Amino acid sequence: MAKEGKTSPGEFIRQVRSETSKVVWPTREETIRTAIFVFIMMLLLSLFFLAVDSTFSAVVGWLLELA
């Protein structure tokens, strides 16, 4: 395996600037829309898991009463 040469700090900074200039940053509207979507999905999933947990808890409680 060939050993690569070390990059100088100046060259590293130039490479980082070059790569960050390629990044497509989201607009404020896209960021807000995405945050709202994440909040809605979090709310729906938390309600779903609350329902599943409550159902399993009730079933286990009922089974323990039978024993």
Q: pLDDT for 5-40, tens place per residue?
A: 788 999 999 999 999 999 999 999 999 999 999 999
Q: What is the pLDDT of residue 5?
A: 75
Question: Taking the model in full, what pTM does it have?
Answer: 0.62
- If you compute the radius of gyration of the chain from its CA atoms, what whole number of angstroms results? 26
Query: What's the number of CA atoms in the CB half-sphere (13 Å) around residue 22?
Result: 5
Q: What is the pLDDT of residue 3?
A: 60
Average pLDDT over residues 60-65: 95
Q: Which amino acid is it at 30?
A: E
Q: What is the pLDDT of residue 7?
A: 85
At 31, is the secondary structure helix, strand, or coil?
helix
